[in-house]
Amino acid sequence: MRVHSILQLLVLIDEAKTQAELVSELESVLRAYGFNYYGLWFHHKPVAGISTQMLIGSWPDGWRRIYMVKKYSLIDPVRRMLSIAQRPFRWKNAVNTFKNDPAFKRMTRMMQDAAKHHLTDGYTFPFHGKTGLLGHFSIGGHPVDLSPAEAALFEATGRRIFWRLIELNGMAGDLETTATMETELTKRQMEVLALLAEGMTSNEIAKDLEISNHTVDWYINVIQEKFNAKNRQHVVAMAFRLGLVS
């Protein structure tokens, strides 16, 4: 049974001495299940403008360029789902979650473009820590139905590989140093901050939240004062460091 391949991988993860060993074993299991593409991301980045770092992965040629050119990061249903999900989810379910969202049609177009690159469906497994979302593991390609037990094993596998790669890459210190903030933000300030961290302008944030540009600027100025930040870029950097956005 294919499930035995996952169990074997779970045993081998801590024994792997290099990233190449982990990748080879993981890709073997994914092929057995029919998943053609995958990615494992690290989210806790205290650098302005960088929200994620892909530790390992394999995606269709040309897809990442289209994703960037069409600015799909602003409406990506999987990315949005990661901001609220506490457990694994399937990509098609993430899209359905936002069916009443103003950007739903654009989300649908994004998934159609993804399907043209053989990314028809998949699963995403988020990993959380004390500062919020630490990373996530995504697997996809042609539709594959996992049983609840198989999904749980893939979640455990992604989490174990995530931490092993953190150790191998000497990045454990970034997670062990936790920044704190005494000043709390209101719900609306958090919404503005999240959109600002996604790279939106004041005009785009205003349209998304259905408020005026002046109101958006006012919220950003308040947040900047609370963070004691020099500018908007510094605000975003502080937000990532504090784990307020991912």
Cβ proximity of 242 and 179 under 8 Å: yes
User: Among 176, 198, 220, where does a domain finish?
Assistant: 176
What is the rounded distance in angstroms from the CA atom of residue 246 to the CA atom of residue 43?
6
Report how far residue 72's alpha carbon sits from residue 136's, in angstroms, rounded to the nearest whole number: 18
Q: What is the mean pLDDT of the chain?
A: 87
Domain tally for the chain? 2
Domain-located, residue 75: yes
pLDDT the model gives residue 1:
63
What is the residue range of 191's domain? 187-241
Q: Among 176, 208, 230, which residue terminates a domain?
A: 176
Strands 37-42, 53-58: pairing kind: antiparallel
In contact, 161 and 22? CB cutoff 8 Å: yes
Whole-number Å distance between alpha carbons of 134 and 138: 14
Q: Which tens digits make up the pLDDT trace of 138-178?
A: 999 999 999 999 999 999 999 999 999 988 877 666 555 54
Asked if the structure places residue 41 within a domain, the reply is yes
223, 192 Cβ separation under 8 angstroms = yes
224: in domain: yes
Asked if 13 and 22 count as a contact pair (C-beta separation under 8 A), the reply is yes
Q: Are 60 and 33 contained in the same domain?
A: yes
CB 110 within 8 A of CB 117: no
For 71-103, what is each residue's pLDDT tens digit? 998 899 999 999 888 899 999 999 999 999 999
